[in-house]
Structure 1
Amino acid sequence: MCPVGVRTSHSTHALETGLAKIWLILVGVNQYQDEQIPCLRYSAVDCQGLGEALNAATAGFPQKDIRIYHDFAQQQPLLENISTSLKEVATASKSTDTILFYFSGHGMLEPSNREVVLCLQDTQKDNLINTGLQLQELLQLLENCPAQQQLIWLDACHSGGMTLFGARGEATKDSQLNPTQELVEILRQRAAKRKGFYALLSCDGDQQSWEFPQLKHGVFTYYLIRGLRGEAADSQGVIEADGLYRYVYHQTLAYIDKTNQQLRVINQLKKSRGENQIHPEYPSQTPKRIVEGTGEVILGIKPHETASLKHPRQALIIEGFPKSQSALALSKILNTSGYFEVNYWSVSETTPATNVRKAIQKCLLSEAFSESPSNANIVEEIPTVFLYLRGKIQETEQGEAVFILADHIIINRSWLKKQLRRCSSQQIIILDCPQESDTCVSVQDWVEELQLGLDTEQCLIAAAAPSSENQRFASSLVDTLSKGVQFPSKPTIQQSGLTAAAWITQLQIELSGSDIQLYFWLIGFQGVIEVFPGKTLFSSDTSEEKAEDIDDLSSSVGLDYTHLRDLLKAERWLEADRETTTLMLKVAGKAEKDYLDLASVENFSCSDLSTIDGLWVKYSRGRFGFAVQKGIWESIRDTSGGDPVLGLMIGNDNVIASETCIDFANRVGWRLKDSWIDYSQLNVNDNAPNGQLPYFGFFEQVWRIKVLGVWEWHSAIATASWWRLCVALFSRIQSCQIN
């Protein structure tokens, strides 16, 4: 149950104007000089990351003092350094100030008097009192300090389990290494003596703090960092102590629960194989708040700039035959609720097989091609790839296992497994295999063969369906994911998301009464595999679902439109225009000739034309695109020839076409003062005319067209001839029913 908050009113004025100062002392210890004290893996990184997050959150406070001590810092976490720093802050602080002390490392109990000691780098286990930072000494320094607001954050009860093989011993063997009960009692006594004291512990009594390689942090500090990065900010962007605590409380409990969900599914698989080694689940880790009567304690303001993800979540949906009505819906829900960047392919008989294989490689290897962030301490989303393949599995005459998306698009199992091995992201692989009634191929064998080692993060889900239910599995995927994003109309703090383990459980229930054979594999001992990552609902900007539909990047010839989409997203209009010309020439098979003729336009692929136009219209917000240009043409198409003498010379149709072309070019900004503008002189800005792009660079230049074997320069005949290509393009848009 969520604890009740104690916030009273917002007041950042003193900190933002410099009337008050915030003092931050952060300590993290990985390596201990005394070999009797176990070394930790992430405490120094916790301290480093928290320092970066606090520095960003307090960027708007002119009066602040940050002192950081950890294994990688210039100032080492030695007793003398920490004691000196504490005394200096206690002496220099004023009554209006705020002091925050954070410690990540081992806390130990002195055997004789059960006094809690925070172990620093040079602490000796046999001489704790003289070589460690005594908690009572720390509290006494703060007691004598004039600062009215004092916070202590302690992550001092670390476990020894470093992987997700389950809890390695639910209680540490060394009783000295778990001082949680004593910590809680001492801090409670301290809080009762003075208002303005706020203590936050990583876990409650008789619990331990867990570290996870996937998070690269202790789970408690991981969510402290994310909260300070903005996820715990209120609707005004203010980050205060109690709001941060509620955020960390719920997220920590949710992560441990997700971990146990995954362990339960892994154990289910082990039992089905007759294995007896069942992994125990993790005991709860409940962050503990100790506070008496304090009001609002401001810790920072949500940073204006949020760091981009180092590794965006990538998804690829490839729909072979038979077609499904649910594949595109799956793409949309992965994009809007799973925060995946999704590419959707509906393959046809003209889709090149090499392009399909390249798309699979691009998705699976997306992490390897990504750029590292400039700030190494940024907390990132876990890199995850999602691959959905719908088709048939068969064996060749040579006995090779293959996945058939179309008659000419065949994915060898050995090739697919090789790509999965090269992938360093978490993997969610879905094989949707509608089977013909006379087909006898083992889908289970595919699941067994595609499994990777225990050190990977992999979820495999495959289904074999009879022809009578060949749509059922795809629709069940969408239905269960839709249920996964439904949460109460009055959520508490955050949407917990959907793990791969929970999704598998839902699919088992959904398909239990059908003839569909469901197979799955899940391994994730380093971290939790999430289909939908949990997102905070605490701040207004994260409470709304992404409304943008997934882009349809279909191509009848297997072209990849992701680069065009990315250029348009970035509003790099002229680069996108040049990419459009290149793509259209490839679609028509005219890349070598370098321009489209009338027959190429009249037979241009409707699928590709719709994709190109849809991207232009969407990302220009209706300013650019072939459909926009077609609308302009329709508004002037009835213009009649104005020069009867010229009509007698070259034909009235040519006059009408020439004058319509010039009128169109003037309206879209291709002509200026009776002259055609050179492409290099196009100036695309916010005031650019509607329909200015795409420029028809895939046709020969209007001012240099060969008519009857003669090069015509600026003539009405040349203009009319060029315009007929444009009209053919508009007519193709109409016949393809592109709106």
Structure 2
Amino acid sequence: MCPVGVRTSHSTHALETGVAKLWLLLVGVNQYEDEQIPGLHYSALDCQGLGEALNAATQGFPQKEVMIYHDFGEQQPKLENIRASLKQIAAASKPIDTVIFYFSGHGMLDSLSQQVVLCLQDTQKEQLTDTGLKLQELLQLLENCSAQQQLLILDACHSGGMTLLGARGETDPQLNPTLELVEVLRKRAAQRKGFYALLSCDRGQQSWEFPQLGHGVFTYYLIQGLRGEAADSVGVIEADGLYRYVYHQTLTYIDKANQQLRVINQLKKGRGDNSIHSEYPSQTPKRIVEGVGEVILGLKPQQIPSSQHPRQALIVEGLPKSKNSLDLSKILSTAGSFEVNYWTVRGKNSQLDVRKAIQKCLLSPSFAETTTPEAATTVFLYLRGQIRETEPGEARLVLSEDIFIERSWLRKQLRRCRSQQIIILDCPEQQGLGTVSVRDWVEELQIGLDAGQCLITAAVPANDSEVFAQTLVETLNQGMQPTGLTAAAWITQLQVQLAQTDIQLYFWLSGSQGIIEILPGKTLFSVENLHTKPENTDNSKPDDLSSALGIDYTYLRDLLKNKRWLEADKETTKLILKASGRKKQNFLEIEDVINFSCKDLYTIDNLWVNYSYGHFGFSVQQRIWQSIKDTSATDPLLALMIGNAKVAASETCIDFANRVGWRLKDSWVDYENLVWQGDAPIGHLPYFGFLEQVWRVRLLGVWEWHSAIATASWWELCVALFSRLESCQVDDSETA
């Protein structure tokens, strides 16, 4: 969770009347004269973009002076220029003034003096303290400045040429001085009230650059915040509000990037490709401030309407008009921020008209050439029709008797498109003709590993032709969360929802430039409740609190009803142990799980499902397991050592834990660090606290940690729980 912010009353009077002056000194360095210092892609753009955002936010402040130094500007980011500007500010500023210093570039740690040095364009690695701006020197120059309000923003621990796939940190220890940065700035903050520092990352972390954003992720959200996203209810932008906004948005973006990696890795594993991408290391913006103060940065600028819409959607309904496709278009238009066109293929529409509509969506010149980084240009194309094979290597998507789309033609249009793509093919089977082949369409329509593309195809049984479109709508409704819904998360939800249906579902996800958003996130600093009740949810009927063992579930119901997730999870563990007679032992054995009361299991599960609106519950977790379970191991060497079944179980366990948020990167998340507020992954709760934890499994008298054998043993208990839920369902259906 974000730390509690400090703030007093908002007073912008001195700045708005010109009594106080705002001093802005911004520095960004891409390329260094010393070839030993690696270049960066976006530091100069960071500086340039932040300067524009600050200018817009401070239009109402008549007294301000802006000094900007970056690779593309008239004034180059050299040491002499920066020192001269700092001295000018120190000499001319008054106590009532505010000073903001921003730096984007490499920070280094001098190996001899252990001093942190900000690397400027003419800095030499072998002479760091003589040719760079020492942090202590910068702080001393600011100390000489009489301005009482000082804000230091450092995006100084960059990763270099990071791309979305396969991110790696730098190996040079000189390029990661965050520990020393934090300590020096903390001491300075303790000495002076009104000093405020924002760092792009915490100890041991680095700042990542994402091509999709056109900036480092930290500065990108600084810019967005200054453009009004971080303004309070009266339109004032101050340092602590900006920090809270950047903190949440940065963490969310990295998490979404990891979601996308997990799905891409799943695809690679399914194809036998073991070159799995590692997840991105955390980047947690840090605030350093002592005492109570308020640094005003600006006022929410007036929004300038854009002449171009960066998100375009086309719904082509090739079968009798469907309420689900209409609902889909409404969701995309409202929650998805798409400009939507809805077509039904009948009447006067010709094949040429349909093709032109698809081309307009995918290839509009003004749309495709949009270069603004505020929102990635994205197209959403939903086509509903029947697949028919025509000749070897060719096929058609038939929309009506005389209108069809050849696969080769669609592939050509997709390859010409320069925007992120979300392509959905909904293909009901034709009565009496058997199943259709949709797998080939996914293979043929792919446009490359680097391109941002999400392909989802489904062969739908003829006797239930609406089920896929209905599931699309349901999962999008479930995905209306403050953090939005990514293509990766949507694919996971569809897999879970359709795991036990007869639908053939195939998908593809790629992209090295950024995250594909289905529903963009909203700007919210805090989320009091995990979910908002959907309009069509009916919880008016009484809850079933029945128990075969005389257990009272009223308290659990009340906790869940009030969204007290942590307490509800602990109560669930307590009740399950009580029902199994294992209160003293504190965990269940395999026999306890296999014989657990069906009635009580149903009661607990239904309460979780109902009060999380389908987000949590054992049955939700069971569907996730159904969608990923496998009997073959991907590590043949380990399979030879301990057996294929154990390795497969261990790999499925880790995949499951990653999906529900119980693992982060290569480690299990501690119980207290699970998501109890905000947006948790689907199936995150209830946690299996009633099973002996994976790191506490005793094997051959030795405590195992992260071993495949221990993980497989723990997963056996989890599978027993899912199987018990399944067998209870079968028993109920037979009784009925």
**When the two structures are superposed, what TM-score results if normalisation uses the length of structure 1?**
0.70
**One-letter code aligned to 2:124:** Q
Superposition deviation, residue 160 in structure 1: 3.1
Q: Deviations over 1:501-526 (max 9, x none)?
A: 00000000111111111100000121
Counterpart among 448, 451, 460 of residue 456 in structure 1: 451
Aligned to 2:350: 352
Q: Deviations over 1:193-229 (max 9, x none)?
A: 0000000000000000000111110000000000000
Superposition deviation, residue 143 in structure 1: 1.1
Superposition deviation, residue 305 in structure 1: 2.6
Q: Structure 1 pair 309/228, CA: closer, same or farther in 2 (3 Å)?
A: farther
Q: Structure 1 pair 230/372, CA: closer, same or farther in 2 (3 Å)?
A: farther
| Secondary structure, aligned partner of 1:129 | helix
Aligned to 1:419: 413
Distance 2:369 2:161 in 1: 29
Distance 2:368 2:7 in 1: 41
Distance 1:129 1:160 in 2: 22
Q: Structure 1 pair 380/441, CA: closer, same or farther in 2 (3 Å)?
A: same
**One-letter code aligned to 2:418:** S
Aligned to 1:277: 275
Aligned to 2:186: 188
**One-letter code aligned to 2:3:** P
Q: Report matched runs for 1:224-623 at 5 Å.
A: 224-308=222-306, 310-366=308-364, 368-370=365-367, 379-396=373-390, 400-436=394-430, 437-485=432-480, 487=481, 495-537=482-524
Distance 1:91 1:311 in 2: 47
- 8 Å contact kept, 1:166–1:263: no
Aligned to 2:40: 40
Superposition deviation, residue 438 in structure 1: 1.7
Aligned to 2:151: 151
Instruction: Please say which structure displays the higher CA radius of gyration.
Output: 1
**One-letter code aligned to 2:411:** K
Distance 1:213 1:232 in 2: 23
Distance 2:101 2:369 in 1: 31
Distance 1:17 1:371 in 2: 44
Distance 1:239 1:397 in 2: 62
Q: Deviations over 1:480-535 (max 9, x none)?
A: 000011x4xxxxxxx21100000000000111111111100000121000001112
Superposition deviation, residue 462 in structure 1: 0.6
Superposition deviation, residue 439 in structure 1: 3.6
Superposition deviation, residue 442 in structure 1: 1.2
- 8 Å contact kept, 2:359–2:413: yes
Q: Deviations over 1:576-629 (max 9, x none)?
A: xxxxxxxxxxxxxxxxxxxxxxxxxxxxxxxxxxxxxxxxxxxxxxxxxxxxxx
Give the unaligned 5+ runs of structure 2. 527-531, 533-736
- 8 Å contact kept, 1:161–1:167: no
| Secondary structure, aligned partner of 2:323 | coil
**One-letter code aligned to 1:51:** G
Distance 2:497 2:449 in 1: 29
Instruction: Please tell me the root mean square deviation across aligned C-alpha atoms, in Å.
Output: 1.7
Aligned to 1:77: 77
Distance 1:508 1:372 in 2: 34
| Secondary structure, aligned partner of 1:535 | coil
Distance 1:302 1:57 in 2: 6
Superposition deviation, residue 440 in structure 1: 4.3
Distance 1:335 1:477 in 2: 15
- 8 Å contact kept, 2:248–2:525: no
Distance 1:307 1:201 in 2: 32
Aligned to 1:635: none
**One-letter code aligned to 1:442:** S
| Secondary structure, aligned partner of 2:354 | helix
**One-letter code aligned to 2:113:** N
Superposition deviation, residue 398 in structure 1: 6.9
Q: Structure 1 pair 449/379, CA: closer, same or farther in 2 (3 Å)?
A: closer
**When the two structures are superposed, what TM-score results if normalisation uses the length of structure 2?**
0.70
Q: Deviations over 1:665-696 (max 9, x none)?
A: xxxxxxxxxxxxxxxxxxxxxxxxxxxxxxxx
**One-letter code aligned to 2:457:** A
| Secondary structure, aligned partner of 1:536 | coil
**One-letter code aligned to 1:65:** E
Aligned to 2:208: 210
- 8 Å contact kept, 1:395–1:401: yes
- 8 Å contact kept, 2:100–2:151: yes
Distance 2:307 2:207 in 1: 27
Distance 1:12 1:46 in 2: 26
Q: Report matched runs for 1:669-684 at 5 Å.
A: none
- 8 Å contact kept, 1:447–1:520: yes
Q: Deviations over 1:68-96 (max 9, x none)?
A: 00000000000000000000001100000
Distance 2:4 2:240 in 1: 9
Distance 1:97 1:381 in 2: 35
- 8 Å contact kept, 1:234–1:538: no
- 8 Å contact kept, 1:349–1:406: no
Distance 1:347 1:27 in 2: 56
**One-letter code aligned to 2:66:** I
Superposition deviation, residue 365 in structure 1: 1.1
Task: Give the count of matched residue pairs.
Answer: 527
| Secondary structure, aligned partner of 1:452 | coil
Distance 2:525 2:341 in 1: 30
Superposition deviation, residue 537 in structure 1: 3.5
Aligned to 2:142: 142
Q: Structure 1 pair 274/322, CA: closer, same or farther in 2 (3 Å)?
A: farther
| Secondary structure, aligned partner of 1:3 | coil
| Secondary structure, aligned partner of 1:68 | strand
Q: Structure 1 pair 391/157, CA: closer, same or farther in 2 (3 Å)?
A: same
Does 447-456 or 117-126 show the bigger shift?
Answer: 447-456
| Secondary structure, aligned partner of 1:293 | coil
Distance 1:327 1:311 in 2: 22
Distance 1:319 1:441 in 2: 18
Superposition deviation, residue 379 in structure 1: 4.4
Distance 1:398 1:285 in 2: 50
Aligned to 1:627: none
Distance 2:441 2:139 in 1: 61
Distance 1:466 1:81 in 2: 70
Distance 1:131 1:333 in 2: 56
Aligned to 1:620: none
Superposition deviation, residue 399 in structure 1: 6.0
Distance 1:247 1:405 in 2: 46
| Secondary structure, aligned partner of 1:276 | coil
Distance 2:161 2:429 in 1: 44
Distance 2:391 2:250 in 1: 53
Aligned to 1:596: none
Give the unaligned 5+ runs of structure 1. 488-494, 540-544, 546-739
Aligned to 1:642: none
Distance 1:538 1:236 in 2: 16
**One-letter code aligned to 2:437:** S
Distance 2:181 2:307 in 1: 37
- 8 Å contact kept, 2:194–2:294: no
Aligned to 2:219: 221
Does 523-532 or 343-352 show the bigger shift?
Answer: 343-352
Superposition deviation, residue 400 in structure 1: 2.6
- 8 Å contact kept, 2:309–2:339: no
| Secondary structure, aligned partner of 1:32 | coil
Superposition deviation, residue 183 in structure 1: 0.3
Q: Report matched runs for 1:78-157 at 5 Å.
A: 78-157=78-157
Identical counterparts, % of pairs: 72
| Secondary structure, aligned partner of 2:66 | strand
**One-letter code aligned to 1:293:** G
